[in-house]
Amino acid sequence: MNTSLNIEQARFNMVEQQIRPWEVLDQEILDLLYLLRREKFVPEAHRALAFSDLEIPLGSEPGERMWAPRVEARVLQSLGLKKSDRVLEVGTGSGYFTALLAHCAGRVFSVEINPEIAKTGQANLAAESIDNAIVEIGDAALGWTRHAPYDVIVLTASTPVVPDSLLEQLKPGGRIFAIVGDEPVMAARVISRDASGCCVQKDLFETCIAPLTNALQPARFKF
């Protein structure tokens, strides 16, 4: 049995059966999914599931998971990245989406609150010779002023509301991706900031994923 052939067939099936039907038609992104080896970023215990349409666990917490492949591709397409873009990623995880961002943007600053996961993500990026993304340990749920302002900000876990502090760290013409809301239904949303500072939002799809650690909570009614 040719293992290499099996992997490439699984990768092909992922792109053609999961990703392309989910309205991801940008050929550069589809090509990148063949180039960047997703299986190298998946924990060894789950490597057989690298191309499956599911979230892969990375740690013991519910939010420590890789996005499903079709979500990664759809979000990447929605951001319309340019080689000059500076990107903040909140939540490094395995480093795979960090790597996708790095291939499309100029510089990626990825912040991970879990030191062990940050270490793994950094090692995965280094193993693939990705040198325009850095991983830092910290809590960026409300932003990360160290490298602000950014052209793009991506939250890889959900948040009930998008903090104003994140919008303030966005350049005019910049955009934020966030999965916004509470269980059981959340909206995958792109918020764009125009030159005057006004924001326009576009919902891409409905989903439900675990919340960001220390995500901003809105005022709740109490009875």
Does 196 map to a domain?
A: yes
Does 41 map to a domain?
A: no
Measured distance CA(108)–CA(101) in Å, rounded: 7
Q: Checking DSSP bridges between strand 150-159 and strand 86-90, what pairing results, if any?
A: parallel
Strand ranges for the chain from DSSP E: 56-57, 65-66, 86-90, 107-112, 133-137, 150-159, 170-182, 185-193, 199-207
What's the pLDDT tens digit per position in 68-102? 999 999 999 999 999 999 999 999 999 999 999 99
Domain holding 88: CATH number? 3.40.50.150
What's the pLDDT tens digit per position in 105-116? 999 999 999 999
Predicted TM-score (pTM) of the model is: 0.94
Shortest CA distance to 96 belongs to which of 137, 51, 140, 147?
A: 51
Does 35 map to a domain?
A: no
Query: Domain limits at 120?
Result: 55-207
Q: Total domain count for the chain?
A: 1
Query: Please, what is the end-to-end C-alpha distance for the chain in angstroms?
Result: 63
What's the pLDDT tens digit per position in 8-33? 999 999 999 999 999 999 999 999 99
Distance between alpha carbon 90 and the CA centroid of its chain, in Å?
8
